[in-house]
Amino acid sequence: MPDKDLEICYNNCIEYSNKIKNPILRDCVLEIYNDYKDRLLKVPATPGRHHYFKGGLLYHLYSVTRNSYTISTLYPNLNIDVDLLIFGSLLHDIGKALEYNSFTTDDNYISVKGNERDLLGHTYKSTHIVDNYLSKYELDDNFKNQVLHIIGSHMRDFGEEGALVKPKMIETIIISYSDNIDNYLEPASKAIDRVTRGEQYEFPKGEIPYYKSLNPYYEERKDK
Ligand SMILES: [Fe+2]
Ligand SMILES: [Fe+2]
């Protein structure tokens, strides 16, 4: 992705941040995005899974926020806290920003911090970063727990790279599904591009092959 597009993506994230009404949550996101800007414009999301390119993590955070926000507009009766939704979407994987420190080419990143990624994982790291930043602000303890819960439960299930706790708020359910959709469709778009009509393709780590459409009216985008 060209650098100018990544700058646009970063600015889109700032625009979403500015929709947050709670000034503490808004300031906290803006502060983290400001402090992490250089890294966000460079680091990928997850090797071998999704958004493995320069700025991939930033693009993923933007996509998940866009997905979550759109879902909130489709379900007005849910009474979703849009502040928590935007905050959690923009920061749910922020810990991944610390997983790489060398950016030589678009597809050559070097992992950092020894065993930190293996032993702590990105859910803990993300929650820890947000906790540290929030500690600078006067925030009700129970509300702060809710905010951290959104980050700590975004993976929805336990397991390797899983959630710290199971989701217990509707906002984190929406973030989690938005996250899954984006994690799935980004590598899918590459797999689909690689084959012609009617051919099989597989997503990374996929066990079941998928088929590209044979519909004669199916028109593929030419601008990719
Ligand atoms: Fe995650
Ligand atoms: Fe994610």
- Angle at the Cα of 96 (from 19 to 165), degrees rounded to 5? 80
- Amino acid 219: pLDDT: 87
Distance 178 CA to ligand 2 centre (A): 9
Name the pairing type of β-strands 200-201 and 100-105. unpaired
90 alpha carbon, closest ligand: 2
State mean pLDDT over 105-115: 62
Q: What is the pLDDT of residues 167-178, one digit of tens each?
A: 999 999 999 999
With contact defined as beta carbons under 8 Å apart, do 22 and 85 qualify?
no
Q: 216 lies in a domain?
A: no
Assess if residue 160 is contained within a domain: yes
Single-letter amino acid code for the residue at 135: S
Q: What is the structure's pLDDT at 96?
A: 92
pLDDT confidence of residue 25 = 98
What per-residue confidence (pLDDT) applies to 109? 64
Ligand that comes closest to the CA of residue 175:
2
Ligand nearest to the CA of 56: 2
- Which CATH number goes with the domain that contains 161? 1.10.3210
pLDDT at 102: 55
- Amino acid identity of residue 177, one-letter, is Y
* CA 111 – ligand 2 centroid, Å: 18
Per the domain annotation, does 220 fall within a domain? no
3-state secondary structure of 155: coil
CB atoms within 10 A of CB 150: 25
**Quick one: DSSP state of residue 51?**
-
pLDDT value of position 111: 67
**Other residues' Cβ atoms within 10 Å of the Cβ of residue 1:** 15
Closest ligand to 51 CA? 2
The domain containing residue 92 runs over which residues?
3-197
Band the pLDDT of 212: cuts 50, 70, 90.
very high
Task: Please give the structure tokens belonging to residue 73.
Answer: 């507009």
CA gyration radius, the chain: 18
Q: Are 17 and 90 in contact (CB under 8 A)?
A: yes
How sure is the predictor about 101, in pLDDT bands with cuts at 50, 70 and 90? low
Do the domain assignments include residue 210? no
pLDDT digits (tens, 9 = 90+) for 181-193: 999 999 888 889 8
Q: How many domains does the chain have?
A: 1
Residues 6 or more apart in contact with residue 66 via CB below 8 angstroms: 12, 16
Q: Which two tokens stand for residue 54?
A: 């320069």
Is pLDDT above 90 for 27?
Answer: yes
Percent of the chain with pLDDT strictly greater than 70: 92
Quick check: 73 pLDDT over 90?
yes
203 assigned to some structural domain:
no
Average pLDDT, the chain: 90
The Å distance, Cα 183 to ligand 1 centre, comes to 9
Residue 218 lies in a domain: no
- pLDDT band at 107; cut points 50, 70, 90: low
- Residues 213, 197 contacting (CB under 8 angstroms): yes
Structure confidence at residue 129 (pLDDT): 97
Residue 190: inside a domain, yes or no?
yes
Give CA–CA dist 66/3, Å, rounded.
20
Report the C-alpha gap between 121 and 96 in whole angstroms: 9
* 158 in any annotated domain: yes
